[in-house]
């Protein structure tokens, strides 16, 4: 059984329609996002200098992105000095091959994994599987997703769309197929479920020779990698196996150890709504006699340098994967993450995925920048001040420009026509006269009910207002800006 | 002070009653407001859908219509936000440095209605009378992009006869989002239905907002389900007076 993949997912509006009909998921997501939202608001509200921290976080990342070449060389040198082996990977294929080669050199047919977004991005599990190597997810939520042959739907809580009774069923059905089974009398009590996962995973921790991780931060001047987590499974993977391979996006750098002070305040409060996360693991190359004695670091580009080349879009590389933007997003709350067709869902995914994959590659990717009402809740919550709405609008322009050479579609023709109308007030006035006539034909009680396609996109669920008999400019001209009306005893009042 | 009203293309075409309300309200407050007839639209729909090149002539039309005024007031938080945050971008993209200069001097003089009343005129009690139970949808662009804060609430609280009731989860987007409502109609309606449900929970007779675009969406859902709740622009509430007053 090969792992589930996002490949070939439909465009966002289609995937969203299906997700909206999933009542179980709607309920699970609403509960989960509202709970995290409230927790985050509480712990962010108690930090007096939160705005300064956000600005500091953005500034540190901007410095890194502006001087990435130098910092990458520095990180390479620090890591090498500390006994790590540094690899450079241009894309997913190169990164996956490096991991497979290391596993083969150690003659293993399995690896344990720390929860990591980047390995999802490069679909490492599928690549390992194809090479005959099993990758065991050890984060509780990732384990639920993996056992359920499912796709993640959230950055921080990938199984957010599942509730505990679904988790119990998955554990009972699947655990025995790949390792220690769950007890037959397993209940859906969270402590009971965690106990089953612990027993299932312990066997894998103790057996595995090779572990794979990502990193939340890579400190350039010391060569230290940092993993921030809640469960302790990450620390098991980072300390027990003999070999550790960490895949690190090149934007994960912070210049110095002291810079962590800013991010270790911003990240837990923004992500889990905690003052501090339970486990913070840091390691600097190889420590003789302690932990993995062979440490590899794969520095990954996979589209990041092209994001960096985009002056507006590059701010997305500040992202620390906290998922605050998902939790406050009214679109995400209703569709869930899988509708975004990427391991990076929600508002950050709607900008990051198209930039990493490239605009104009396929319809699903090009639909993502439009998967937002531009309400701005994401920007308000982002701990590193990524102006997501600004980038969304910027990417929409790129989507339009990428299609300009083709035959114009309905939207393109409507936009060109609207631009022509709205550039000249006389043309707009002529349109209003026509609209006024149509309103008298179509409207009943000032409202228009169901209309044929494409107007049914509005009127299927909503009434539309009927165009009024007289536009505002018509009223202004007729009454001399209301002066005539007042003389005549009218006041220009109009019922909606 | 030479004051112009930017009525917006949507209000001009679909909701003229909002425009006439702004004029009546400002006349009552002693402001001789003008309507430059060359005006059309802010261009936001084009920018937000990705058609920035097509927005350039619209922004030029906006600048030509309003350049001569000390203040421009518009009954739309969203359109004013577009003027303040997007016109600069459109002008830059056009490569027309004269347009960029004109945009830079004009944009800060363009005010959303509640900003103009509270900040420029310095009034909170506009002498209105509206004996109804009202709830306010604050609108995302007024709140997050313009930062109008509680100015609409201040104005509504000073209206005689009006009872203002809190809207649950008021800060959540209604799901209109311009062309989002057509490109992602299912998500848009899912968001709007929750908003409409919260409006009904308040027991209000009238839903008020500073943007007719949001109101067209929420109001369209409310009338479709025959909820018996009217959607009404803030300007129309503030323009209302006692009969015979």
- Residue-wise pLDDT for A160-211, tens only, equals 888 999 999 999 999 999 999 999 999 999 999 999 999 999 999 999 999 9
Check A462 against B192: CB less than 8 A apart.
yes
CA angle (A186, A192, A198) in 5-degree steps: 105
0.90 exceeded by pTM = yes
Distance, CA of B245 to CA of B229 (rounded, Å): 26
- Chain B hits for A416, Cβ within 8 Å: 51, 54
Structure tokens at B205: 């007779």
Check A491 against B24: CB less than 8 A apart.
yes
- pLDDT tens sequence across A408-459: 788 899 999 999 999 999 999 999 998 888 888 888 888 898 888 888 999 9
Q: Quick one: pLDDT at residue A266?
A: 98
Distance, CA of B57 to CA of A195 (rounded, Å): 65
- Chain B hits for A399, Cβ within 8 Å: 50
Q: Is A22 helix (H, G, I), strand (E, B) or coil?
A: coil
Residue ranges per structural domain of chain A: 12-305, 411-488
Radius of gyration of chain B (CA): 18
Q: Is A188 helix (H, G, I), strand (E, B) or coil?
A: coil
- Axis crossing angle, helix B77-94 with helix B52-66, rounded to the nearest 10: 110
Block means of pLDDT (10 residues each) for chain B, 245 residues, are 97 97 98 97 96 96 97 98 97 95 97 98 98 98 96 98 98 96 96 98 98 98 95 98 82
Percentage of residues in chain A having pLDDT higher than 90: 86
- pLDDT tens sequence across A69-87: 999 999 999 999 999 999 9
B17: left (phi over 0), alpha (psi -120 to 50) or beta: alpha
| Closest residue in chain A to residue B225, using alpha carbons only | A462
Q: Quick one: pLDDT at residue A494?
A: 46
Q: Which of B9, B21, B27 minimizes the C-alpha distance to B121?
A: B27
Check B57 against A419: CB less than 8 A apart.
yes
Which of A331, A371, A400 lies closest to B51 in CB terms? A400
Q: How many helices and strands, by DSSP H and E, does chain A display?
A: 24, 12
Beta-carbon pairs below 8 A across chains A and B: 220
Strand partners, B184: none
Check B50 against A400: CB less than 8 A apart.
yes
Q: Which of A204, A186, A185 minimizes the C-alpha distance to A194?
A: A186
In this prediction, residues A23-34 reach a mean pLDDT of 93
Distance, CA of A241 to CA of A205 (rounded, Å): 8
- Chain B hits for A468, Cβ within 8 Å: 14-17
Distance, CA of A354 to CA of A365 (rounded, Å): 5
Distance, CA of B191 to CA of B185 (rounded, Å): 10
Closest Cα of chain B to A427: distance in Å?
10
Check B180 against A373: CB less than 8 A apart.
yes
Which of B21, B177, B231 lies closest to A374 in CB terms? B177
Q: Is A224 helix (H, G, I), strand (E, B) or coil?
A: strand
Q: Quick one: pLDDT at residue A9?
A: 84
Please determine, for residue A3, whether its predicted confidence score (pLDDT) is greater than 80: no
- Chain B hits for A463, Cβ within 8 Å: 219-221, 223-224
Looking at every residue in chain A, the average pLDDT score rounds to 94
- Chain A hits for B49, Cβ within 8 Å: 396, 400, 411, 415
Check A463 against B144: CB less than 8 A apart.
no
Q: Quick one: pLDDT at residue A7?
A: 75
Strand partners, B5: B73
- Mutation to test the B interface, candidates A334, A375, A465, most B Cβ within 10 Å: A375
Q: Quick one: pLDDT at residue A409?
A: 84
Check A372 against B180: CB less than 8 A apart.
yes
Closest Cα of chain A to B31: distance in Å?
13
Q: Is A111 helix (H, G, I), strand (E, B) or coil?
A: strand
Distance, CA of B147 to CA of A454 (rounded, Å): 35
The phi, psi pair for A253, rounded to 5°, reads -70, 140
Distance, CA of A334 to CA of B192 (rounded, Å): 11
Which of B34, B45, B230 lies closest to A496 in CB terms? B230
* Pairing mode, strands A224-229 and A217-219: antiparallel
Q: What ipTM was assigned to the predicted interfaces of this complex?
A: 0.97
Are A472 and B11 within 8 A, CB to CB?
Answer: yes
- Chain B hits for A330, Cβ within 8 Å: 172-173, 175, 191
- Chain A hits for B33, Cβ within 8 Å: 481
Distance, CA of B18 to CA of A494 (rounded, Å): 8
Residue pointed to by tokens 């997703």: A145
Please determine, for residue A39, whether its predicted confidence score (pLDDT) is greater than 50: yes
Residue A419: partners with Cβ closer than 8 Å, 6 or more residues away = B46, B51, B54, B55, B57, B58
> Containing H/E element for B233?
strand B230-233
- Chain A hits for B15, Cβ within 8 Å: 465, 468, 496
Strand partners, A245: A212, A296
| Closest residue in chain A to residue B195, using alpha carbons only | A330
CB neighbours of residue A387 within 10 Å: 18
Are A153 and A332 within 8 A, CB to CB?
Answer: no
* A227 band by pLDDT with thresholds 50, 70 and 90: very high
In this prediction, residues A388-406 reach a mean pLDDT of 94
Q: Quick one: pLDDT at residue A482?
A: 87
| Closest residue in chain B to residue A432, using alpha carbons only | B13
HSE value, Cβ hemisphere, 13 Å, CA-based, for B134: 28
| Closest residue in chain B to residue A427, using alpha carbons only | B40
Strand partners, B165: B135
Check A422 against B40: CB less than 8 A apart.
yes
Check A13 against B186: CB less than 8 A apart.
yes
Measured CA to CA in angstroms, residue B2 lies from B8, B70, B123, B190 at distances of 19, 5, 18, 44
CB neighbours of residue A440 within 10 Å: 12
Check B35 against A476: CB less than 8 A apart.
yes
- Chain B hits for A423, Cβ within 8 Å: 40, 57-58, 60-61
| Closest residue in chain B to residue A410, using alpha carbons only | B183
Q: Which of A188, A281, A296 minimizes the C-alpha distance to A244?
A: A296
Are A144 and A154 within 8 A, CB to CB?
Answer: no
Q: Quick one: pLDDT at residue A406?
A: 81
In this prediction, residues A105-113 reach a mean pLDDT of 98
- Mutation to test the A interface, candidates B47, B51, B61, most A Cβ within 10 Å: B51
- Chain A hits for B9, Cβ within 8 Å: 422, 428
Distance, CA of B59 to CA of B57 (rounded, Å): 5
Q: Which of A234, A232, A230 minimizes the C-alpha distance to A214?
A: A234
Which of A376, A396, A398 lies closest to B49 in CB terms? A396
* A486 band by pLDDT with thresholds 50, 70 and 90: low
Check B50 against A393: CB less than 8 A apart.
yes
Closest Cα of chain A to B50: distance in Å?
4
- Chain B hits for A435, Cβ within 8 Å: 13
Q: Quick one: pLDDT at residue A476?
A: 97
Q: Quick one: pLDDT at residue A2?
A: 62
Please give the biggest Cα pair distance in chain B.
54
Superfamily of domain A12-305 in CATH is NagB/RpiA/CoA transferase-like (3.40.50.10420)
Check B187 against A335: CB less than 8 A apart.
yes
């Amino acid at each position: 059984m090969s792992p589930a993949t996002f490949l070939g997912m439909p465009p966002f509006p289609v995937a969203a329609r299906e997700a909206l009909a999933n009542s179980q998921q709607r309920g699970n997501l609403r509960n989960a996002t509202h709970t995290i939202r409230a927790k985050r608001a509480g712990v962010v509200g108690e930090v007096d200098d939160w705005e300064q921290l956000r600005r500091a976080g953005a500034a540190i990342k901007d410095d890194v992105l502006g001087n990435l070449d130098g910092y990458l060389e520095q990180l390479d040198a620090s890591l090498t000095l500390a006994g790590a082996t540094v690899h450079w990977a241009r894309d997913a294929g190169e990164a996956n091959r490096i991991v497979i080669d290391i596993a083969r050199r150690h003659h293993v047919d399995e690896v344990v994994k720390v929860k990591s977004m980047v390995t999802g991005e490069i679909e490492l599990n599928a690549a390992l599987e194809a090479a005959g190597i099993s990758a065991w997810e050890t984060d509780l939520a990732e384990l639920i997703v993996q056992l359920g042959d499912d796709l993640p739907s959230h950055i921080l809580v990938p199984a957010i769309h599942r509730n505990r009774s679904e988790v119990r069923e998955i554990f009972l059905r699947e655990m025995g197929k790949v390792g220690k089974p769950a007890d037959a009398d397993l209940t859906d009590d969270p402590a009971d479920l965690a106990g089953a996962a612990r027993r299932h995973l312990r066997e894998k921790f103790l057996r595995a020779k090779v572990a794979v991780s990502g990193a939340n931060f890579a400190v350039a001047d010391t060569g230290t990698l940092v993993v921030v987590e809640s469960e302790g499974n990450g620390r098991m993977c980072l300390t027990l196996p003999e070999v550790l391979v960490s895949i690190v996006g090149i934007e994960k750098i912070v210049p110095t150890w002291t810079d962590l002070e800013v991010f270790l305040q911003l990240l837990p409060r923004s992500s889990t709504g905690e003052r501090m996360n339970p486990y913070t693991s840091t390691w600097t190359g190889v420590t003789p006699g302690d932990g993995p004695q062979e440490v590899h670091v794969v520095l990954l580009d996979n589209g990041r340098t092209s994001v960096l080349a985009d002056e507006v879009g590059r701010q997305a590389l500040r992202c620390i994967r906290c998922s605050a933007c998902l939790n406050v997003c009214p679109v995400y709350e209703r569709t869930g993450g899988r509708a975004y067709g990427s391991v990076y869902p929600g508002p950050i995914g709607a900008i990051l995925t198209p930039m990493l994959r490239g605009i104009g590659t396929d319809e699903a990717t090009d639909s993502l920048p439009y998967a937002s009402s531009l309400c701005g809740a994401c920007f308000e919550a982002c701990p590193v001040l990524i102006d997501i709405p600004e980038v969304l609008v910027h990417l929409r322009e790129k989507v339009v420009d990428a299609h300009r050479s083709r035959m114009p579609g309905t939207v393109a023709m409507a936009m060109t026509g609207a631009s022509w109308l709205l550039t000249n007030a006389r043309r707009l006035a002529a349109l209003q006269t026509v609209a006024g006539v149509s309103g008298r034909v179509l409207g009943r009680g000032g409202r228009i009910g169901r209309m044929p396609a494409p107007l049914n996109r509005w009127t299927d669920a909503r009434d539309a207002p009927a165009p009024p008999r007289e536009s505002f400019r018509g009223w202004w001209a007729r009454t001399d800006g209301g002066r005539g009306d007042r003389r005549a005893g009218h006041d220009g009042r109009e019922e909606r | 002070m030479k004051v112009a009203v930017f009525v917006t293309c949507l209000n001009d075409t679909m909701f003229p009653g909002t425009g006439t309300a702004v004029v009546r309200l400002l006349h009552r407050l002693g402001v001789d407001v003008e309507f430059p007839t060359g005006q059309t639209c802010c261009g936001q729909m084009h920018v937000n859908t990705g058609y920035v090149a097509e927005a350039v002539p619209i922004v030029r039309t906006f600048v030509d219509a309003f350049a001569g005024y000390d203040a421009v007031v518009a009954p739309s938080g969203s359109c004013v936000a577009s003027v303040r945050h997007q016109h600069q971008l459109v002008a830059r993209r056009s490569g027309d440095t004269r347009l960029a200069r004109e945009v830079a001097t004009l944009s800060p003089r363009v005010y959303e209605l509640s900003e103009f009343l509270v900040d420029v005129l310095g009034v909170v009690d506009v002498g209105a009378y509206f004996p109804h139970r009202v709830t306010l949808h604050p609108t995302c662009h007024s709140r997050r992009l313009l930062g109008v804060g509680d100015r609409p609430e201040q104005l509504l609280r000073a209206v005689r006869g009006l009872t203002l009731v809190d809207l649950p989860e008021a800060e959540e987007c209604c799901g209109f989002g311009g062309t989002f409502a057509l490109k992602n109609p299912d998500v848009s309606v899912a968001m709007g239905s929750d908003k409409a449900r919260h409006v009904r929970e308040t027991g209000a007779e009238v839903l008020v907002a500073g943007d007719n675009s949001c109101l067209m969406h929420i109001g369209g859902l409310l009338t479709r389900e025959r909820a018996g709740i009217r959607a009404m622009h803030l300007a129309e509430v503030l323009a209302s007076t006692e009969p015979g007053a």
